[in-house]
Every structure is written in C-alpha cells, then in structure tokens.
Structure 1
Amino acid sequence: MACRFLSSRVVPSSQRLSRRFLFVFTLSASCTYLCYSLIFCSGAIMYGHGHEPHGCLLPHRAPGKKLLHKSSSCSPSGVRELSPARVGTGAAHDRGKKPLGGAADRGSNSSGAGGAKFGNKKLPNAIIVGVKKGGTRAVLEFIRIHPDVRAVGTEPHFFDRNYERGFDWYRSLMPRTLDSQITMEKTPSYFVTREAPRRISSMSRNTKLIVVVRNPVTRAISDYTQTLSKKPDIPTFEVLAFKNKSLGLVDTSWNAIRIGMYILHLENWLQYFPLSQIHFVSGEMLITDPAGELARVQDFLGLKRIVTDKHFYFNKTKGFPCLKKPESSSLPRCLGKSKGRTHVQIDQEVIEKLREFYRPYNIKFYEMVGHDFRWD
C-alpha cells in the first residue's frame, strides 16, 4: 500500500496515461502484425504449395495486395498473381492439360450440356462401329446435339490401330461427361476388324454398338470415289472389283467389296455381343427420314426423344439433310465437303453383276437382323 501511495505521488497523472496509451498501442500493433502474418502464410500455403517456395504468391485480386507487395520478404520480381484457372482442385488443373494424343475434347460437343467443364472422362458407353461410307459421320453429328450425349469428334481408332496404348490412353481422349450422360465415339473400321469385338467386350460387355449400313454396291462406289479423290492414279473401279469381269468373278480381297459382305462381319460380332446390343441404322433412310432414324437411335440408347424433325432441313445442293441453325451460331450445320460428293459413273452392267453377287449375303443379313433394307 505504501509503495502504491508513493508511486501515485511520484509519477504524475499525465505520464501514467501516456504509458497506458503506449501499452495499448503496442498491443494493438502487435495483434495487427500477427493477423497479417497469419493471412499471408495461409495464402502462401493454399495457393503456392509446391510452387516457387521462395517467391511471393498472391491470390487473384486478393484484398490487401498492395500491403503484400510492400512486404520485405517479397521483391517486385518475385511477386506473381495466380489466375483463377490455377486456383482450385486437381480437376481444375486437368481442364487445362492436353491428354495423350491431343484429341480429348477437340471436336466434342459444343452445346455445353455440362460436360465440357464438369464431370469425368469415362470409357464410352456406346460406339458407332461401322460401316465406312455408310453414314457414320451423319449419325454422330446428329446424335451429339442431344444434351445427354457427349462424343469424340475425331476417330480414335483404338480397337484397331492403337490398342497397345492401353485403356488409360483411350480414356484420355474422351470428353468429360456427367453421370447422367452417355460417352460416345465412332470409328467405322471397327466393324471389319477381326479383333475389335473381343477387345470391346473386354472393356465392357454392356457397350452398345451402332452399325450404319448402306446398299453394298452404292457403298463400294462411294468408297472408290473417296479413294480416287486422294489417289487419282489408281485402276478403274471395274478392274479392282473383278477378278474376271466376263465370268462375273468378284474380287473379295478388295476391301471396298469385302466391307459390304455385312453378314460375315456380323457373325464375328455375335460371338461376343447379343444382337439386342447392336442397333442398325439405314444409310438410305438417314437421308430421306433423318428424324425417324434418330428417334430409333435415341430409343436404343435409352434417351428421351429430343432430336426430332424440327432439327433438320434438306440441303438440295449436297443432297443430304443438315441441322438447322443452332442458337449459338449464325450458320446451319452441314457435313463437310467430302460428304455428298458426286460418285464416279459406273457401267450399269457392272452394277448388275455386283447386285447379283451381294444378293445372297444381303438376304442372310436381313434374316439375321430381322429387317429388310430393300437393297435388291
């Protein structure tokens, strides 16, 4: 008591107030410094973990950025701002990376439907496996406008040319899909590849398969026309199609002829998949009634019938149906210049001989699939 009495006498009242003010100010400044230090450290851990540990990392448009720039631990050259694309989970980082092969989302659905920015890359639920020059590109372009379908634009050729790269590589090519969406791809050469059915079955026995078929004679001429546009020096169609034209001996070793022997290839697929998992699209009906063919495709895939006749119009110049102008574009969507090109003129006698050749194969095919495509 005596000590306190003497102190109150010795130390003036104003000096005691100054000391109290100094104590409060020092405590406040210390707390402020501690808070900013905690904020800075947590920001560095959150945004800069594993990246330039000696630099100064700033969140994009972070509050207090000027104060952090003035920190003695950061030099002006050491400060870099993290953009929103780099802030987030590993899934966000993956969106900015190109997968092996470089074709993951190139050419995939552009409608947005939730798959481009969200979801995961999955192995396909459905594959358009054939046939070449049958109308596979049209089916892919038409079905991919459905919001529940995400498709690879390019042909992966995984089950015929790139199988040794493995399923992880194949998955990396797929677009991102939500759980409610179907992942698709198309590679027409699968249908005539001997190993493809077994390989696809090893991926999933539940994979749904779509085969677009067309009059085998017309298909062969279209196939030849495409090859001729790339290799103008090849022999004539008649020379390639027959071993002996006068005897009507067709050269079945020529791929353009062999592809149209559909029943032979189908028998190979039926060793691994039931017929109920294979849907056949008529290439001819795809031109005259695209909405009807797409309705059946949607049913087969278990989708609601969203793609209807309101999406199509017939382009007289190309001789093919095109998709009407989507809301996000100023132009309608038609198939490329290579689709609908004028076929090479073939002698009618050659066409008749090929029809006779294909007739027994066609009849067996009709009986197997339970549908008469009326090619005869």
Structure 2
Amino acid sequence: MVRLGSSKKTIAALLCISTVCVILILNSQLNASPRRRARYETRHTLSVPLTLNLSKNVTILRLPDANNRIHRYKLERIDEAEEDEDYWGDEEEEEKEKKMMNARESGEEKEPFMMAADEEEEDFGDRLNAGQMSNQTVERQPQPHIEPPTKSIGMQLRQQVIQARNITKEKNYLLQVSDPRYSRMIGKVLSKLPNDVRKDMTLNIRMVEARSRMDFLKLPANKQWEVILQVFASNGYEQRFPDVINIGVKKSGTNALGFFFPQHPQIVHSIGNEVHYFDWMYEKGLAYYKSRMGFAKSTQLIFEKTPRYFVTASAPKRILADLPTKPKFILCVRDPISRLISDFRHESELKLRREFKSNRLKYASRTGQFEGERLRQEIIGRFGHVNGSNELVDTSVYVKHYKNWLQYFPPESIMVVDQDKMEKDVYAQMKRLEEFLGLRPFFKPSMFYFDTAKNGICMREGHLPNRNCPAKSTPSVLPKAIIDPQTMAKLKEFYRPFNQEFSQLTGMSFSWAI
C-alpha cells in the first residue's frame, strides 16, 4: 500500500510538472518579440477563409510581404465587379450631403463632418521621434570618420517612416478632420495600390499592428490615413489638385470614359466615382478637395470626374479662382433628346431606390408607354410647349452652358467628346485624349472589343482583375420611356437651333445637330 501510494504521488507530480511546462511554453510563444507576434497574429487572425470573397459585405485584400508571402486582410466590400451598387451608394451619400448642406444654409443643422481628431491615442510617428530624441547625447569632440555598419531593414523602415512623416506634417484634411466617407475611401485606396507601393504598405501595416496590437483596419481612420500618406510620400507619390477634369455632361458617356481613360499609366483617378466639390461640397474648402484626389507621381496626371460641373453656373469661376494649376477639361455630349430620356430614367430609379430599396415588385408593372407619359407631363408645360426651365431639358441645352465656360477658359482647354463616336471607335477618342494632354502613346486598337453579354465596349487589358467593362451607371430596372411622336417633334424643334449653334461654336459636326 505504501508503494502504491507513492506511485500515485509520483504520477500526480509528473502531471503537474508537465502542465506547468505546457503553460510556460504557450506563454513564451504569446510573449515573443513584436515581430514574431505580428507574424502569428497575421496568420491566425487575418488568414480568413477564401469563401469570404463571395460575401456581399466583405472582400479580401491580398498584400505580399518582403518575402512575397501573401497576407489577407478583411475589408468592407467594394463591388468592382458590380460597380452599379458602389455607384448608387456614392450617389445616395452625395444626395444626403447635399440635403445637409441645404439644411445648414437654412440654419437647421450644423456641419457633422468637422470633428476634431482623437488626440488621446498615442501617435506612432511621435513615438519614433521621441525614441530617437532619447538616444541623443551632448556635444563631443569630432571623432575620426568610421564607415557605419549596414543598417538593418527595421532601422531603414523606421527612418523611412520618419522622413515621410516630415513630408506629411503640413495640414492635411485626412489627418485633421473625421469624415463619414473615410472607411470607403481607405478601402478604395488599399484595393488599388500601385505595384511599387504594395510591399512597403504591407510592412508598415504589419509594424503598426505589432506595436498597437490591433488589426490595422480597427485603428481610428486618422491613424490609418497617417500610415497610408507616409508610405505613398516615401515612394514619391502625392495628392495634388487635378490636371484634367471631366465636367460632363451627365448621361453622355462620362462613366465609360472614366473607366477607359485611367487605364493609361500616366492617369490617376480621384478617390471615388465623383467628387462634387465645385457644386455641392464647396464649403468644405480646398483641403477637402485635395484629399479626394488620387496619389500620383510627378510624371502622372490626376483625373477628376463630376458631370454636374458643366451645368453649375459658378463652377468655372470657382475653378479659375481657387485652383493654383490650370487644368484641362473633357466635355462629353450626346443627342440631347436621348440624354434627356436617359437622365429621366436614372433619376426615376434613384428615387424609387430610396423609396422602395430593392423591392422591385413596387414598380415591376411599369411600361415604356407609362414612363413616356410621365416624362411628357414633366417637360411639357400646360400650354403645350417644351418647358425650357425644367432641369432635364435645360441640361441638354449644351450651348448655353458651354458659353458660360468660355467666359473663363479658352476653347482649346476644353476637349469635346461625342458619345456616338465614342461607341463606334473608342480607340480613336483615347488617342485624341493622349494628344490633347501630351501623354505618351499607350492605347492600341487590339485593347478594345465588343462584349455581347455586356452589350457594350470592353477592354482586354484592364488594370482591375475580373473587370474589363465599364459598370452601368443606371441599373435599368425601369423600362426606357417611349415618347409619343407629337412630343418628340416638339423636342426636336426646341433643340434644333441650340444644337446648330453648339456645332458652329465647337467646330464639330454631330449627327443630331441638323
């Protein structure tokens, strides 16, 4: 019995010792160096299942590290393959901001965006600067020059961050102000990183995660922007005011041009589909406008697209007065009546989307004749004449708005693109743009093809994976309005003199200007 009891005690002691050893081993793994811990957390928390790629709310950002190992980061879904949803989301947010602007002008609501940045959280760049200052010593006698040892990758990275921080010390809207669009903008930037920025961005993100012990995308948006700005600045990129602006006209092929044109390696698109600074967001100031521009090198041009600028009477005056650069402009036009019908459909669907969301049963029974009658009632006055003050009608009076722009900018600074010619030969219009802006030749006829499934022109060598075709700016859930012959005749008669004058003023021939 004594021997048996001692045996039980021995076994119990061994079990206790082994349990303690296991706990110590696990604790040592968890308390490893920040870099090892970062690698563990990256594999453990960021290596999410590939099935998340199919989610409507989540997309996966894949970034290679210094050893070309792929790390996956969860981001909010950015539907590049179905950009119609992204487009509608942008437009709905713009409508909300427009309403809030009107409310602020009437004194009913205060500006919700101008909130101070969170100053309680410790700044990563400041900690690096403080760390270097603590290592400084008092002055000493000059010492013989000794070749310094080769710097470690970590030290090079830290110095790179400090140098980049000095570049971004100037007042930056992204660092000073909290904006409700931050998460979407950050997602757009990270999903379209240039090849020469990807590795540096990954290294900096991992280093910040190791120090903060937080997922990068869970940090305050201002802190995320600080890292993004530093990495871009250290690689020679900057946000500048636009060099070329697509000013309109709405529903005249601006979305297709905004897809094909930025495929050129010297063109950088603004962050987001449309900026709307000189029409809706002007009160936010130039710092906000600059923050919405893409990151470009000195050899690249920044491109911005907002079709409402063309019909905003104050837009050309504001651009001339505010922008230090002299941008060039692209003006897309279309058959005025076809543009009017398309615009009516677009606005009707946007209104229905707000009212009924995705419940299409509410308006599935509408016909083209029904929509045509609705359009007729909106644009024809009670005396039977075309209502020229109607916004849909007025937007298609190109010559009126074109003359307003010519008061501030010479005609040689505005390139007019006819949508009919764009659809027939995209390559020819892209070559015109290259010559207009002095870009090096890039586009080739073999790049473009007609996609029968999309029923439109697409591009074989698109820079976005699995997306070679422009997204629809209107989902087309409503039928196209069918206008009765009498109303069509009135519209043709109304637009004829304006179309002819616009043709003479631009020196271009249009099939609809007869």
Whether the TM-score (by the shorter chain) exceeds 0.5 is yes
Q: Does 1:50 align with 2:130?
A: yes
- Paired residue for 2:265? 147
Q: Is contact 2:346-2:474 (8 Å) kept?
A: no
- From 402, 420, 427, the equivalent of 1:266 is 402
Bigger mean CA deviation after superposition, 333-342 or 305-314: 333-342
| In 2, Cα distance between equivalents of 1:282 and 1:328 | 26
Report the secondary structure of 1:231's partner residue. helix
The residue that corresponds to 1:374 in the other structure is: 511
How many Å apart are 1:335 and its aligned residue? Answer: 2.1
Structure 1 counterpart of 2:194: 112
Shift of 1:92: 8.3
Please give the alpha-carbon distance, in whole angstroms, between the structure 1 residues aligned to 2:408 and 2:338.
29
1:98 and 1:104 in contact (8 A); partners too: no
Structure 2 vs 1, CA of residues 355 and 306 (structure 1 numbering), >3 Å: closer, same or farther? same
Encode CA deviations 1:51-110: one digit per residue, 9 max, x unaligned.
Answer: 7999xxxx99869xxxxxxxxxxxxxxxxxx9899565316879xx95654366765694
In 2 relative to 1, CA 134–105 (structure 1 residues): closer, same or farther, beyond 3 Å? farther
Could you tell me whether the CA contact under 8 Å between 2:252 and 2:419 is conserved in 1?
yes
Match in the other structure for 1:309? 445
Kindly state the Cα deviation for residue 299 of structure 1 after the two structures are TM-superposed: 1.2
Q: State yes or no: 1:191 paired with 2:310.
A: yes
| Structure 1 position 314, deviation (Å) | 1.2
1:90 pairs with one of 155, 165, 170: 165
Match of 2:484 in 1: 347
Question: Would the aligned equivalents of 1:319 and 1:340 in 2 still touch at CA under 8 Å?
Answer: no
Q: Is contact 1:248-1:353 (8 Å) kept?
A: no
Code of the aligned partner of 2:426: P
User: Which structure has the bigger radius of gyration?
Assistant: 1
Query: 1:212 matched to which residue of 2?
Result: 332
Q: Hey, what does 1:323 align to over in structure 2?
A: 459
Alignment of 1:159 onto 2:296: no
Match of 2:206 in 1: none
Q: Say whether the 8 Å CA contact 1:113–1:147 is kept in structure 2.
A: no
Counterpart residue identity of residue 215, structure 1: D
Shift of 1:282: 0.6
CA displacement at 1:194 relative to structure 2: 0.7
CA distance in 1 between counterparts of 2:132 and 2:503 reads: 67
Distance 1:279 1:344 in 2: 31
- TM-aligned CA distance change 1:254 to 1:181, over 3 Å: same
Establish whether residue 282 from structure 1 lines up as the match of residue 418 from structure 2.
yes
Give the aligned residue type for 1:161.
Answer: W
Give the structure 2 partner of residue 19 of structure 1. none
1:218 corresponds to which letter in structure 2?
S
Question: Structure 2 CA distance, aligned partners of 1:151 and 1:201?
Answer: 21
| Mean Cα deviation higher: 194-203 or 45-54 | 45-54
Q: Tell me which amino acid in the other structure corresponds to 2:471.
A: G
In the TM superposition, residue 350 of structure 1 has moved relative to its aligned partner by: 2.0
The Cα offsets for residues 151-171 of structure 1, whole Å up to 9 and x where unpaired, read as 113211111111122112211
Of residues 100, 110, 121, the one that matches 2:239 is 121
Name the CA shift for 1:53/1:372 in 2 (closer, same or farther; >3 Å).
same
How far does the alpha carbon of each residue in 1:124-143 deviate from its partner, in whole angstroms, 9 at most, with x for none?
11100111101111111111
Deviation of 1:346 after TM superposition, in Å, equals: 2.3
Structure 1: 5+ residue runs without aligned partners? 1-44, 64-81
Q: Which amino acid aligns with 2:510?
A: F
2:470 partner letter: L
Task: Give the distance between the partners of 1:84 and 1:106, measured in 2 at CA.
Answer: 27
Deviation at 1:323, TM superposition (A): 1.8
Measured on the aligned residues, the alpha-carbon RMSD in Å equals: 3.5
Q: Is 1:229 paired with 2:349? A: yes
Which letter does structure 1 place at the counterpart of 2:327?
A: T
Q: Is the 8 A contact 2:237 2:295 kept in 1?
A: yes
CA distance in 1, matches of 2:294, 2:463: 22
Inter-partner Cα distance in structure 2 for 1:272 and 1:46: 45
- Which of these residues, 331, 334, 341, is aligned with residue 469 of structure 2? 334
Which structure has greater helix proportion?
2
| Aligned mates of 2:502, 2:186 — CA distance in 1 | 36
| In 1, Cα distance between equivalents of 2:165 and 2:237 | 13
How far residue 217 of structure 1 moved from its aligned partner, in angstroms, is 0.1
- Contiguous gaps of at least 5 residues in structure 2: 1-124, 135-150, 198-231, 353-362, 364-370
Query: For the structure 1 residues 114 and 163, does the alpha-carbon distance in structure 2 shift closer, same or farther, using more than 3 Å as the test?
Result: farther
Q: Secondary structure at the match of 1:256?
A: helix
Matched, 1:357 2:432: no
AA of the residue aligned to 1:90: R
- Relative distance call for 1:310 and 1:374 in structure 2 (3 A) is same
After superposing the two structures, state which structure 1 stretch, 288-297 or 124-133, moved more: 288-297
Matched, 1:294 2:430: yes
- Is 1:200 the counterpart of 2:319? The answer is yes
| 1:112 aligned partner, one-letter code | P
Q: Distance in 2 between matches of 1:371 and 1:303?
A: 23
Q: Is the 8 A contact 1:105 1:175 kept in 2?
A: no
**Partner amino acid for 1:350?**
T
Aligned residues: 307
> What is the CA–CA distance in structure 2 between the aligned matches of 1:62 and 1:187, rounded to whole Å?
43
